[in-house]
Structure 1
Amino acid sequence: MNQRRQKKLSRRLFGAIQVGDTAVVTAVLRAGADPERADSEGTTPLYAASVNGRASIAGLLLSAGASPDTESGGIGAEGTPLCAAACWGHADTVRELLAHGADPNLREDHGTGWSPLEWARRGPHPETVAHLTAAGASGR
């Protein structure tokens, strides 16, 4: 697929994620959108879905091949998808990420930042803390 088409599909994918349109996300992924292609600022689709609590869209992206632990580098959108979901207490999205193999102990900022559990505790988001703890997140 040529670069121009991939760029167009990526823009459609991010637009659909923003408004929570699972039908368009499904269609764009079927048309060949790369589920890991970051936008022009470095934000990954899975991070965008996770920070906005779009659990079903996160599941679609993960099923299409997005890595659950890829760190986003977008301006104001830096970090891992699990940290993003945990920070805002999106328990369903946390559950979806964990079910697809997200590391509950992976710290953001390339291992030097906060863990998902630290974000959830500072929320405070007790349901999210419970999911992370059940998945083996440590308090360190």
Structure 2
Amino acid sequence: MNRRRRKKLLRRLFEAVQTGDVAAVKALLGAGVDPEGPDSEGTTPLYAAAVNGEAVIVGLLLLAGVSPDVESRGAGAEGTALCAAACWGHTATVRELLAFGADPNLREDGGTGWSPLEWASNGPHPATVALLVAAGAVERQQ
């Protein structure tokens, strides 16, 4: 697949993620779009889906081989998908990421930022906190 086609498919993937178009995401993944490909700012499709609470799309991306712990680098969209979902209390998305092996204690910013538990607690999103704790998330020791 040539570079121009890859860029076009990736742009369509981001549009489908943003609008929650599950059928389009399936079709694009079937057409060979890179499910880990960042946009021009460095945002990953997984992060975009997670921050919007698109649990089904998160599952499709993970089934396509995306690492659940990949860190997005986009301007205003930096961090892990699990932190993004936890921040907004998207419990179904958090559950999906954990089911695919996302680390409930992985801190953003290369290990120096907040954890998913800190994001959920700050929300406050008690159901998300409970889900993360059940998955092994622990508070940072001072």
- Range class of TM-score, shorter chain: over 0.9
Aligned to 1:101: 101
Q: Show the counterpart of 2:47.
A: 47
Q: TM-score, normalised by structure 2?
A: 0.98
CA-to-aligned-CA distance 1:9-59 (integer Å, 9 cap, x gap): 100000000000000000000000011000000000000000000000000
Spell out structure 1 runs of 4+ moving beyond 6 A: none
Aligned length: 140
Aligned pair 1:87/2:87, yes or no?
Answer: yes
Aligned to 2:65: 65
Which segments of 5 or more consecutive residues in structure 2 lack a partner in the other structure? none
- 1: CA distance, partners of 2:96 / 2:2: 32
Q: TM-score, normalised by structure 1?
A: 0.99
C-alpha RMSD over aligned residues? 0.5
CA–CA distance in structure 2, aligned partners of residues 6 and 32 of structure 1: 9
- Alpha-carbon displacement from aligned partner over 1:43-80 (angstroms, at most 9, x marks no partner): 00000000000000000000001110000000000000
Sequence identity percentage? 75
In structure 2, how many angstroms separate the alpha carbons of the residues matched to 1:51 and 1:110?
19
